[in-house]
Structure formats: C-alpha cells, structure tokens
Amino acid sequence: MSFYHEIKKYAHFDFQSFFAGVTTDRVEAALAKEKLSEQDFLALLSPAASGSLEQMAAKAHQLTRQYFGHTIQLFIPLYISNFCANLCVYCGFHRGNAISRKKLSLAEIEVEAKAIAATGMRHLLLLTGEAPGVTPIDYLEDAVWLLKKYFASVSIEIFPLDEDDYHRLRLAGADGLTLYQEVSWLILNIVYSITGT
Ligand code: SF4
C-alpha cells in the first residue's frame, strides 16, 4: 500500500462535517493516546483543537526528546538536477524560469561527493526537482549507491514515487525521506523515516 493509496481514501471525505463533529473531549482523548490513528490526527487539525496548541507542542517536544534525545544532526544538501516540471512560484527552479538546467552525471556526483566528504560531513540529503523523465528511478538508484560509498546517511528529497521505487532506493542505501506537499490552503510537511522498511 503506497502513500498515494492511503491519501486516496480521503478523496471524497467530508472534512467539514468531520471537523464540525469534533469536540474538545475528542481532542483530549487523541492527545492522551500513545498511538494516534489517522482520525486522531485529523481531530487535532480541527477548530476544536485550537485551544490545545500548547498541549500539542508539549507532547511533540516530549516525543522528540524520547526518540532523538538531545542531539542535533547536521546534513548537507546536494542537488543533482535542477530540472522541474512544476511551477511553484516561490522556487527558482520552476519550469517558467529561463535558467540554465543541469543534471549531474554519476562522475560529476562523485566529484561533489568527494569534496563534501572531505569536509567531514557524514549525512547527505540528495535533492532533485520534479522531473521523473529526466531523473528516473534508475538514475536515482545509481546516485544513492554511489553516495553511500561516501556518507553514513543518505536521505532523499525528490518527487513522489510508488512503493516499489521507494523500496529500490531503500535497498540502494537511502535511509530517510522528506516529502513536501504544498498547496494554497494547506501545507503538509511530511517527513517519513524509511529506516527499516
Ligand atoms: S517542485 Fe520543487 S523544485 Fe520544482 S518548482 Fe516546486 S519547489 Fe521548485
């Protein structure tokens, strides 16, 4: 089951009615749970949860400390392509901008990897624009294999893939995924750890 299939379940979901039915008790119950369901998370996005922001922040803080401790992880981003089919107005890479476009070859990626690794950085975030025709899964897989020779951790911030392709990148050595989905009425910052999947 991919994320796409999960989100598709909500294509005709009546969010307004759901939110209208959420009470503060429902919000409290969600906040008290160890493990939240999808509808618990939705309850926390409802107007009834607006008075519980401090409580949510405290719980988020406690969970962050629980899972990550007092650590700071430094990583360095490496764009291997600036081709993109999208038109996000805030982004210089959007396809309407007449800029020079470049997709690094594997040899060029290795040159960058060596230079970055020489600085002592051990965690890398590999990025592309959204242009699967230019940076297909085979290319990304090769790039991850290559980068894993130089870095303890390689995360990816690319375009959405299906489950099989995520699995390929996982097998190649990718251990983290950042996926930003931004639309005018809602910004979801979905950060999944794919370690162990
Ligand atoms: S999809 Fe990403 S790279 Fe492409 S225009 Fe939007 S923000 Fe920029």
45-62 average pLDDT score: 95
Atom number of ligand 1 nearest to Cα 128: 3
Predicted TM-score (pTM) of this structure: 0.69
| 197 falls within a domain | no
Report the pLDDT value the prediction gives residue 72, as an integer from 0 to 100. Answer: 85
C-alpha 80/C-alpha 128 separation (Å) is 6
Atom number of ligand 1 nearest to Cα 94: 5
One domain for residues 55 and 105: no
Find out whether the beta carbon of 134 lies less than 6 Å from any atom of ligand 1.
no
One domain for residues 20 and 117: no
Ligand 1 geometric centre to CA of 87 (Å): 7
**Domain count for the chain:** 2
Would you call 157 helix, strand, or coil by DSSP? strand
Find out whether the beta carbon of 86 lies less than 6 Å from any atom of ligand 1.
yes
C-alpha 57/C-alpha 63 separation (Å) is 10
Ligand 1 geometric centre to CA of 158 (Å): 9
Find out whether the beta carbon of 91 lies less than 6 Å from any atom of ligand 1.
yes
Domain stop point among 33, 68, 103: 68
Ligand 1 geometric centre to CA of 82 (Å): 9
One domain for residues 96 and 64: no
Q: Which amino acid is at 148?
A: K
Find out whether the beta carbon of 81 lies less than 6 Å from any atom of ligand 1.
no
Find out whether the beta carbon of 88 lies less than 6 Å from any atom of ligand 1.
yes
One domain for residues 159 and 124: yes
Q: Are 173 and 156 in contact (CB under 8 A)?
A: no
Would you call 175 helix, strand, or coil by DSSP? strand
Q: For residue 173, is it left (φ>0), alpha (ψ between -120 and 50) or beta?
A: left
Domain that holds residue 184: 76-192
Q: Are 135 and 128 in contact (CB under 8 A)?
A: yes
**Beta strand 187-192 pairing with 174-182:** antiparallel
Residue pLDDT, tens place only, 125-179: 999 999 999 999 999 999 999 999 999 999 999 998 998 999 999 999 999 998 7
Residues 6+ apart with CB under 8 A from 71: none
Q: How confident is the model at residue 181 (pLDDT cuts 50, 70, 90)?
A: low
Range 141-145 contact pairs with CB under 8 angstroms and sequence separation of 24 or more: 141/168, 141/169, 141/172, 142/106, 142/172, 143/80, 143/106, 143/109, 144/169, 144/172, 144/173, 144/174, 145/172, 145/173
